[in-house]
Amino acid sequence: MKATYNMTVEQLVGNRPDLASDNTRKVATAAEAAGFDACNLTDHPFPDATWLSNSGHNAFDPLAALCFVAGFTTRIKLHTNIVVLPYRNPFMTSKEATTLDVLSNGRLILGVGVGYLEGEYDALGVDFKQRGKLMDEAIDAMKEAWRGEVMAYEGMNFTARNNIQFPPPIQRPHPPIWCGGNGGLAVRRAAERCDGWTPFFMPPGKVGERHPDAITTVAQLKDRVDAIGEMRAAAGRTGHFDISPMSPVPVTARTTEVADRFLASATGLAAAGVTWVGLGMPGEEASEICENLAWFGEAVLPQLHAL
At position 282, the amino acid (one-letter code) is P
At position 220, the amino acid (one-letter code) is Q
What range defines the domain where residue 32 resides? 2-305
Least confident of 2-6, 12-16, 145-149, 228-232: 12-16
178: domain CATH number?
3.20.20.30
As a dihedral over the C-alpha atoms of residue 30, residue 36, residue 37, residue 40, rounded to 10 degrees, the angle is: -70
User: Structure pTM?
Assistant: 0.94
Domain count, the chain: 1
Instruction: Kindly state the percentage of the chain with pLDDT values over 70.
Output: 96
Mean pLDDT value of segment 99-105:
98
Mean pLDDT value of segment 133-139:
97
Q: How confident is the model at residue 169 (pLDDT cuts 50, 70, 90)?
A: very high
